[in-house]
Amino acid sequence: MRLTPLGLDGAILIEVDRIVDARGHFARVFCADELADAGLDVAIVQSSVSFNAKSGTLRGMHWQTEEHAETKYVRCTRGAVYDAIVDLRPQSPSYLRWVSVELSADNQRTLYIPKGFAHGFQTLCDDTEVFYQMTARFAPDAARGARFDDPAFAIEWPAVPRRIMSDKDLGYPDFQA
Ligand X SMILES: Cc1cn([C@H]2C[C@H](O)[C@@H](COP(=O)(O)OP(=O)(O)O[C@H]3O[C@@H](C)C(=O)[C@@H](O)[C@H]3O)O2)c(=O)[nH]c1=O
Query: Among all residues, which ones are annotated catalytic?
Result: 62, 132
Q: How far is the CB of 27 from ligand X (least distance, A)?
A: 24
The binder of ligand X chosen from 50, 92, 94, 108 (CB under 6 A): 50
Distance of alpha carbon 108 from alpha carbon 129, whole angstroms:
12
CA of residue 177 relative to chain centroid, distance = 21
Which range touches ligand X (CB under 6 A), out of 3-11, 30-38, 114-122, 149-157? 114-122
Q: How far is the CB of 166 from ligand X (least distance, A)?
A: 5
Q: Is the distance from CB of 58 to CB of 163 less than 8 angstroms?
A: yes
Q: What is the largest CA-CA distance in the chain?
A: 54
Residue 120 binds ligand X (CB under 6 A): yes
Residue 65 binds ligand X (CB under 6 A): no
Residue 56 binds ligand X (CB under 6 A): no
Distance of alpha carbon 32 from alpha carbon 42, whole angstroms:
6
Distance of alpha carbon 89 from alpha carbon 76, whole angstroms:
26
Instruction: Report the residue number, 18 or 168, with the smaller CB distance to ligand X.
Output: 168
Q: Which residues of this protein are in contact with ligand X, per CB under 6 A?
A: 48, 50, 59-60, 62, 119-121, 138, 166
